[in-house]
Structure 1
Amino acid sequence: MPEASRWHRGVTFGMVNPHMYYLNKVMSSLFLDTSVPGDERTNFKSIRSTTDFWKFMEGPLLEGLYWDSWYTNQELYNLKNSSRIYYENIILGVPRVRQLKVRNNTCKIYSSFESLMSECYDKYTAENEDLSDFGLQPNIEWKYSTSNASSPWHWGFVGVYRNGGYIFTLSKSKSETKSKFIDLRLNSWITRGTRVIFIDFSLYNANVNLFCIIRFTQFRIVLGDFNFAGIQQANWILGPIYFITFIFFVFFVLLNMFLAIINDTYSEVKADYSIGRRPDFELGKMIKKEIQRAEKMKKWKERLEKKYYSTEIEDDYQPVTQQEFQE
């Protein structure tokens, strides 16, 4: 039995198919790593703002979903009302774009700042979700679509997201889809309350008999737009060291600036003091004169007390002369 148990712990089972790996890798490279034409740094992984998102939608996503011509610019064979990726991967149905929003005034504003902030959008929760229509309300993409009870929610690393939201489906025509993207961008379909956008579609490859379900998610955090991908790629050890070094560098620069200002101020005051026309204004001399005057007053007082308040009264009275007072 011990031999059998050790053998059992060493056995593993898994389904390994190289076609799955390559299909997944090809799709990831096509949509995630392809840059916007004319901008080599903007792809799905480097999206930092709403502008970058629409560049991705109208660039790599649009070009990746619609392969309507060969590499020789000849029209593709009859697609039979279907879209294809890399000529051999048939898109099942049409892609769908969905966003979830939060309501305004879902977070508390300190009373001193209420006059400065009229809008406040908290992080996404089921309680904070915005269910009202907005924008061009006659169109379905501006109206909230309720979630399907049988559809699972999306589980992220730090939150759970419902399967409802503001949804629009892409057309099977590339030109119509591009017009839809432009219309949504110009009419601000993405707002300050937007917290997450899902891009969903499925495809089938008959050559390897594999289905591929794809979902791209783009989260918009409450702190605003910044290079989140760069933060994720930062080194956990060297990053804090560089930051602390930068803080010390800035501190020493500010310290040197402060000392330079003090030194210049001292030099100017010293120069003005050295060429002053009133020597009586010199603090040292003034103090010295006051001390001498106090000593003279003390001596004069002692002489007066000795001469007039002594117990031995002299018969001949002699007033204090000016010379004695000065002495």
Structure 2
Amino acid sequence: IWQTKFTEDVSKDKELYIRTTLRELIIYILFLIDLCIVSFGMTSSSTFYFTNAMMSLFLDQSSPGVSTFRQSAQINDFCLFANGSMLDGLYWETWYNGENVTSGDLGYIYYANKLLGKPRLRMLRVKNSSCDVADAFTREIKECYGSYAPDIEDQSTFGPNGSFVYYTESQLNGTTFWGQLAAYSGGGYIQELAMTKGESLSITNNLIQNLWIGRGTRAVFLDFTVYNANINLFSVIKLLLEIPPTGGVIPTWSFRTVKLIRYVNFMDYIVLVCEGIFCAFIVYYIIEECIEIFKHRCSYFGSFWNCLDLLVIAISLCCIGFSIYRSLVVDAQLTQLLAEPDTYSNFEYLSFAQTRFNDVGAVLVFFAWIKIFKYISFNKTMTQLSSTLSRCSKDVGGFAIMFFIFFFAYAQLGYLLFGTQVLDYSTFYNATFTLLRIILGDFNFQALEQANRVLGPIYFITFVFFVFFILLNMFLAIINDTYGEVKSELASKKDEFQLYDYLKEIFYSNRQ
């Protein structure tokens, strides 16, 4: 049952080689179908529409005379958003005809998504004198607040009667969050909103009047979670307002739409059955690979496909272990969080764990599909393609070194020339991906020209010339030349017994 082309001597028997490979292919296709059912059964298009609905409401909804969260440019914009669009989005207390919502229907966003617990505001500050003032200005400027870093966080109590108290990351069960400017700790000064719009408005007004957001503030978070029972999805939402030392604000956001309660309807239980079959397949492949390793010893690891087999098995075991752990943690914490509806429900860790599980599952599906080339490489056409890639690998490697020298040189040049004026070149990271976009035909020439009327056009034209007209054509020439050589060699060889011949032989033998 575990017979493969690596456990049998198929070098002299082409028919045995094809028969063994075909059997492996059929088993693997069944495994791939099962994996796809499990993977796609855990997601749906409803996930996108749910996320899009929440993003439209909290990022792009505006009140008269008030900018949206996405358009926030200064602290005053956020204050107007907090008292306007934010509260309007969180609290739906009237129907569209003006009638009040009944008490049983309160707490539903869009009248369909249950707000779990209370929303929470969290703020991070840095200490005064966390940066150095130039000697020429020390007499006029007495305060200096630097960029955010955990070691210069201000944790002192402030506000009227010491009402604003700092809580550590462990006290809040928080996690580090990456914004555009920095990685922010899970601690900070917190303020939970109320269950009604009127009470929450009083809370936000009190924060504004007492200057809760000050000169040392570097980040303000709004965290809350909603659940849609119609599609059994949670949306864990985080709106972040980053305040750089330069002044102004940078809005950032995170919408994690996840399926934390796995098994509810009939389709979910079909997925559960397929998960059991998936585990059986993994046990089968573990035994198969162990037999191959025992037979070939160290030479087993010299094959790319064998290493890919081990990688798929390793990722699969991670998925299985992660799924079991996630299920246990979700069941325990979900019950605890839902038991306290009058406080902030921290679903951040649960959503993070589920998102990482989805990421690992996506990587597994990718490598599982790549692995299918292992079983169809005996075909003449596939042999031609794989031989071309393997033979030109050294030339492509040498070309890649030359290409990236040019590429990163232009990325650094663009960052240094235009980084102060053009967003696409504001960091070396952005400059790198901007050049990749230029290769794909997505570019903003006007921005370069406005930044520097002389060097901008020169930079763009020379990059396009070297990359498009020289380097990419060299790459195509390497591939084309190698492909021609391989094709000529295969054409001069005697035709071997192919899969088509084997299937035709089986077909005619069955007819007789």
TM range (shorter): 0.5 to 0.7
**CA distance, structure 2, for counterparts of residue 192 and residue 231 of structure 1:** 27
- CA shift for structure 1 position 159: 2.5
Give the 3-state SS of the residue equivalent to 1:44 in structure 2: coil
Q: Go from structure 1 to structure 2 and tell me whether the alpha carbon gap of 1:245 and 1:137 turns closer, same or farther (over 3 Å shift).
A: farther
Query: Within the alignment, does 1:45 sit opposite 2:83 as a pair?
Result: no
Aligned with 2:81 (options 56, 66, 78) = 56
User: Is 1:148 matched up with 2:148?
Assistant: no
Aligned partner of 1:180 in structure 2 is 203
Cα deviation, residue 70, structure 1: 0.5
Whether the 8 Å CA contact 2:92–2:110 is kept in 1: the answer is yes
Which structure: larger Rg? 1
Give the distance between the partners of 2:139 and 2:82, measured in 1 at CA: 37
Give the superposition deviation at 1:79.
Answer: 2.9
Shift of 1:35: 1.6
Partners of 1:154 and 1:92 lie apart in 2 by 21
CA distance in 2, matches of 1:186, 1:233: 38
On the 8 A contact 2:240/2:251 being kept in 1, the answer is: no
- 1:198-230 C-alpha deviation (Å, 9 max, x unpaired): 110011111111111111111011111278899
1:92 aligns with 2:116: yes
CA–CA distance in structure 1, aligned partners of residues 179 and 249 of structure 2: 20
Match of 1:126 among 150, 155, 159: 150
Give the aligned partner of residue 99 of structure 2. 74
Identify which of 11, 24, 30 aligns with 2:51. 24
Give the Cα separation in 1 of the matches to 2:150 and 2:110: 39
> Which residue is equivalent to 1:277?
none
- Asked whether the equivalents of residues 137 and 143 of structure 1 are also in contact (C-alpha less than 8 Å), the reply is no
Distance 2:197 2:251 in 1: 31
Q: How far does residue 156 in structure 1 lie from its aligned partner after superposition? A: 3.2
Offset at residue 160 of structure 1 (A)? 1.8
1:76 to partner: Cα distance: 0.9
Q: Which has the higher helix share?
A: 2
**Contact between 1:107 and 1:120, CA under 8 Å: does it hold in 2?**
yes
Equivalents in 1 of 2:200, 2:176: separation in Å? 27
Which 5+ residue runs of structure 2 have no aligned equivalent? 6-20, 253-420, 426-442, 457-512
Aligned match of 2:61? 34
Residue 219 of structure 2 corresponds to which residue in structure 1?
Answer: 196
Q: What is the alpha-carbon distance in structure 2 between the residues aligned to residue 228 and residue 239 of structure 1?
A: 23
Instruction: Please give the alpha-carbon distance, in whole angstroms, between the structure 2 residues aligned to 1:124 and 1:236.
Output: 32
Displacement, 1:247?
Answer: 11
Instruction: Determine the C-alpha separation between the residues in 2 that align with 1:68 and 1:35.
Output: 18
User: Are residues 72 and 194 of structure 1, via their aligned partners in 2, closer, same or farther at CA, if it must alter by over 3 Å?
Assistant: same
Count of residue pairs brought into register by the alignment: 243
C-alpha separation in 2, matches of 1:173 and 1:247: 57
Letter in 2 for 1:124: Y
**Aligned positions of 1:249-268 closer than 5 A:** none
SS of match in other structure, 1:184: helix
The alpha carbon displacement at 1:94 in A equals 0.3
Cα deviation for residue 152 of structure 1 reads 2.1
Aligned letter for 1:113? F
**SS of the counterpart of 2:49?**
helix
Preserved CA contact (<8 Å) 1:37 1:59: no
Alpha-carbon offset, residue 99 of structure 1: 0.6
1:215 and 1:227 map into 2 onto residues whose CA distance is: 14
State which of 113, 118, 126 in structure 1 corresponds to 2:137.
113
> 1:103: Cα distance to partner?
0.2
Shifted more, 148-157 versus 66-75: the winner is: 148-157
Distance of 1:204 and 1:227 partners within structure 2: 28
- Structure 1: runs of 5+ lacking an equivalent: 249-327
CA contact (8 A) 1:202 1:211 kept: yes
Partners of 1:59 and 1:93 in 2: how far apart? 20
Q: Measure, in 1, the Cα distance between the counterparts of 2:423 and 2:104.
A: 41
Against the structure 1 CA distance between its residues 237 and 227, is the aligned structure 2 distance closer, same or farther, given a 3 Å change threshold? farther
> Counterparts of 1:274-285 in structure 2 under 5 Å?
none
* 8 Å Cα contact 2:147-2:245 kept in structure 1: yes
8 A Cα contact 2:167 2:187, kept in partner: yes
Between the aligned residues of both structures, percent identity stands at 32
TM-superposed deviation, 1:29 = 0.2
Corresponding residue SS for 1:98: strand
Amino acid at match of 1:22: Y
Aligned-residue offset at 1:233: 8.4
Is the 8 Å Cα contact of residues 198 and 216 (structure 1) preserved in structure 2?
A: yes
Aligned equivalents of 2:236, 2:251: Cα separation in 1: 26
- Tell me the SS of whatever aligns to 1:198: strand
Alignment of 1:291-306 (within 5 A): none
**For residues 177 and 116 of structure 1, what CA distance do their matches in structure 2 show?**
40
Over the aligned positions, Cα root-mean-square deviation in angstroms equals 3.1
